[in-house]
């Protein structure tokens, strides 16, 4: 099939299902791809890097990882970053979102020892990007807490908030002259709920209903410290912006009944309000404070399991977002749950919603990820209505498959439909200024190891060279970027 025929087929097949928005993205819209240090770098113990919680957890015997694999080598980007940049160049992206490994920069987690080789690695990467006209978009922390800090309780110990600020200072000092967009945290809900609540992420600490709330409290404080530090000491000279990235889902009420509608709103507050509200308005959502306090009393606790911010802390947190990063993959239907589950001490029982996905929604190889493009438009509008006209960057969006073919039509369709839904939201008036696709290449998918493939490039993990091959989706995205048009050609309206 020639290129034109292929586009006609893609457009025709998807337009049957949904109507595709064919208006152009603005000229200054940022397009890029996304990765994270532990998922791509490898070199886990090279050149002075310290151990982090993912090194620790993936080296456990027996392994908690589905295929017993580790990120010890991953995509070997520590050695192959120039190839990564060449791939980005081919795609024509304006930005590349990657994360820094705290333990590569500060091997002990503390700032007593700065690893010059770790600093050099990121300086070289940034230099290579800039030489190719690609702007770095840097996530300071993407889940890989230094193990020495975890030994002290990790994110449940307030000590880490100052240590994070120390780390952020080293980062701003060393890279800030060449970085305009910072993200303090990636998906803190995963770090906290997954890491200390439901055992889905390192450090796999089993403390549901308590650990995730302590963790979030400290993550929010650490974020605010980094934002104020940047604001006071670096903003005038470095002229960058500091945001945070949240994981989002849209929660669609199952029926119009007020119970289901309330359950949807409560769910949104537990998922998004937990982070977005303190950083925009200063404190946790009222519904979280009320529900968790009431349930804590009924469960025999002398105080709420949700920690409280002081008045000063509320003032300190409020407005510490220059922009908001959002990762969107999927949507759930929600019903009210009649069962209060008072004996269940967990975040999930506190939120108490009954979520499911419709059978008719297309599946991926990730159990929770069904394809629901319209949810992106809905969550973007909800964020704007709830938190005001904050500038938004879509920092992740993508779909997994089994990696067997580089003819990844499912991924092409996924991107086309989601970019169209994103454009719908922008036309609704939501202030979205960029989109970075997850992911540049197949990589280490945490406890799912190498079993789920999200890449625009295929990576051959059986070859020591970790050979990268562009998939059909890479060619599609390249055309989208070139024409600023979801059809991937020049036919979009102005
Ligand atoms: C979000 C996370 O930030 C990223 O690390 C992960 O690989 C993707 N979701 C896909 O699950």
144 lines ligand 1 (CB under 6 A): no
Asked if 374 contacts 18 with a C-beta cutoff of 8 angstroms, the reply is yes
1 or 67: which carries more pLDDT confidence? 67
Helix axes 286-298, 258-268, angle to 10 degrees: 100
Confidence of residue 18 (pLDDT cuts 50, 70, 90): low
330 within ligand 1 shell (Cβ under 6 A): no
Cβ–ligand 1 distance for 280 under 6 Å, the answer no
Question: Tokens 């081919």 map to which residue?
Answer: 90
Q: Is 396 in the pocket of ligand 1 (CB under 6 A)?
A: yes
Residue 340: pLDDT band (50, 70, 90) is confident
Closest ligand 1 atom to Cα of 143: 5
pLDDT tens for 120-168 read 999 999 999 999 999 999 999 999 999 999 999 999 999 999 999 999 9
Phi-psi region of 147 (alpha: psi -120 to 50; beta: other; left: phi over 0): alpha
Structure tokens at 393: 């960057």
Catalytic residues: 187, 396
C-beta 141 within 6 A of ligand 1: no
Which token pair is 172? 């701003």
Residue range 454-476: average pLDDT?
A: 98
- Give the model's pLDDT for residue 129: 99
Q: Residue whose CA is closest, atom 6 of ligand 1?
A: 445
pLDDT in tens, 212-233: 999 999 999 999 999 999 999 9
Q: pLDDT band for 494, please (50, 70, 90 cuts).
A: confident
Q: Is residue 36 within 6 Å of ligand 1 at its C-beta?
A: yes
The residue whose CA is least distant from atom 10 of ligand 1 is 445
- Alpha-carbon distance 240 to 333, whole Å? 38
Q: Which of 412, 416, 387 is nearest to 401 (CA)?
A: 412
Helix and strand numbers (H, E) in the chain are 20, 11
Please tell me the distance between residue 398's alpha carbon and the centre of ligand 1 in angstroms.
9
Instruction: Provide, rounded to the nearest whole percent, the portion of the chain with pLDDT above 90.
Output: 95
Q: Report helix angle 77-91 to 472-483, nearest 10.
A: 50
Residue 84 CA, ligand 1 centroid: distance in Å = 18
CB of 442 closer than 6 A to ligand 1? no
The residues near 183 (Cβ < 8 Å, ≥ 6 apart) are 97, 137, 138, 139, 140, 242, 243, 244, 245, 325, 395
CA of residue 37 to ligand 1 center, whole Å: 12
> Which residues touch 58 (CB under 8 Å, ≥6 apart)?
64, 65, 69, 70, 71, 72, 202
pLDDT for residue 208: 98
CA of 278 to the centre of ligand 1 (A): 24
Query: Residue 186 CA: which ligand 1 atom is closest?
Result: 3
**Is the confidence at residue 108, as pLDDT, over 70?**
yes
Q: What pLDDT score does 24 carry?
A: 97
d(CA 313, CA 399): 38
In short, whether 186's Cβ falls inside 6 Å of ligand 1 is: yes
Cα 122 to averaged position of ligand 1 atoms, centre (Å): 21
Report which protein residue has its CA nearest ligand 1's atom 2.
187
pLDDT of 267-314, one tens digit each? 999 999 999 999 999 999 999 999 999 999 999 999 999 999 999 999
Atom 5, ligand 1: which residue's CA is nearest?
36
Distance between Cα 195 and ligand 1 center (Å)? 14
Q: Ligand 1 pocket test: pick from 137, 142, 187, 397 the residue with the most ligand atoms within 8 Å of its Cβ.
A: 187
Place of tokens 């406890």: 447
Instruction: Report CA(189)–ligand 1 centroid distance (Å).
Output: 12
Residue 13 has pLDDT above 60, yes or no: no
181 and 95 in contact (C-beta within 8 Å)?
Answer: yes
CB of residue 327 inside a 6 A radius of ligand 1? yes
User: pLDDT digit string (tens) for 167-190?
Assistant: 999 999 999 999 999 999 999 999
Is 445's C-beta closer than 6 angstroms to any atom of ligand 1?
yes
Q: What is the pLDDT of residue 10?
A: 36
**Whats the size of the chain, residue-wise?**
494
For 391-413, how does the pLDDT look when each residue is reduced to its tens digit (9 = 90+)? 999 999 999 999 999 999 999 99
Helix (H) or strand (E) holding 242: strand 241-253
pLDDT at 9 over 50: no
Which residue's CA is minimally distant from atom 7 of ligand 1? 445
Span 92-114, average pLDDT: 98
Sequence-distant (6+) residues with CB within 8 A of 196 are 154, 155, 156, 203, 205, 207, 211, 212, 214, 215
Mean pLDDT for 98-117 is 98
Q: Please determine, for residue 2, whether its predicted confidence score (pLDDT) is greater than 60.
A: no
Q: Which residues pair with 30 in a beta bridge?
A: 434
Is the predicted pLDDT of residue 3 greater than 70, yes or no?
A: no
């Amino acid at each position: 099939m020639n290129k034109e025929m292929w586009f006609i087929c893609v457009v025709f097949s998807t337009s049957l299902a949904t109507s595709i928005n064919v208006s152009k993205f603005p000229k200054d819209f940022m397009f890029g791809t996304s990765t994270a240090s532990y998922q791509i770098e490898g070199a886990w113990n090279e050149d002075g890097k310290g151990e982090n919680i993912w090194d620790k957890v993936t080296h456990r015997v027996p392994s908690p990882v589905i295929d017993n694999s580790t990120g010890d080598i991953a995509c070997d980007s520590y050695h192959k970053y120039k190839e990564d940049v060449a791939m980005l160049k081919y795609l024509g992206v304006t930005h590349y979102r990657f994360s820094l490994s705290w333990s590569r920069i500060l091997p002990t987690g503390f700032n007593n020892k700065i690893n010059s080789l770790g600093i050099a690695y990121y300086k070289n990467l940034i230099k290579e990007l800039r030489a190719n006209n690609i702007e770095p978009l840097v996530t300071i922390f993407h889940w890989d807490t230094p193990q020495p800090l975890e030994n002290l309780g990790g994110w449940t110990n307030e000590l880490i908030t100052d240590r994070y600020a120390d780390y952020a200072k080293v980062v701003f000092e060393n890279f800030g002259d060449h970085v305009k967009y910072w993200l303090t945290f990636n998906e803190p809900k995963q770090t906290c709920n997954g890491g200390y609540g439901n055992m889905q992420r390192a450090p796999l600490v089993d403390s549901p209903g308590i650990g995730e709330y302590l963790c979030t409290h400290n993550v929010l404080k650490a974020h605010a410290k980094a934002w104020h530090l940047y604001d006071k000491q670096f903003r005038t000279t470095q002229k960058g912006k500091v945001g945070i990235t949240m994981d989002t889902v849209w929660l669609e009420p199952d029926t119009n009944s007020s119970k289901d509608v309330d359950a949807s709103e409560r769910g949104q507050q537990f998922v998004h309000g937990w982070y977005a509200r303190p950083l925009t308005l200063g404190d946790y959502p009222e519904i979280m404070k009320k529900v968790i306090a009431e349930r804590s009393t009924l469960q025999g606790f002398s105080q709420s399991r949700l920690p409280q911010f002081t008045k000063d802390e509320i003032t300190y947190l409020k407005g510490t977002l220059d922009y908001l990063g959002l990762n969107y993959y999927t949507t759930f239907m929600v019903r009210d749950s009649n069962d209060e589950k008072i004996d269940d001490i967990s975040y999930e029982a506190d939120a108490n919603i009954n979520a499911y996905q419709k059978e008719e929604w297309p599946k991926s190889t990730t159990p929770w990820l069904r394809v629901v493009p319209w949810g992106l438009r809905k969550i973007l509008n909800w964020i704007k209505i709830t938190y005001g006209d904050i500038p938004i960057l879509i920092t992740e969006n993508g779909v997994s498959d089994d990696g067997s073919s580089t003819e990844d039509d499912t991924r092409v369709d996924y991107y086309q439909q989601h970019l169209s839904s994103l454009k719908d939201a922008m036309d609704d008036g939501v202030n979205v200024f960029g989109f970075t696709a997850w992911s540049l290449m197949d990589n280490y998918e945490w406890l799912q190891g190498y079993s789920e493939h999200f890449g625009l490039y295929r990576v051959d993990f059986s070859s020591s060279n970790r050979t990268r091959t562009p998939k059909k989706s890479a060619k599609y995205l390249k055309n989208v970027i070139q024409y600023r048009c979801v059809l991937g050609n020049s036919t979009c309206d102005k």
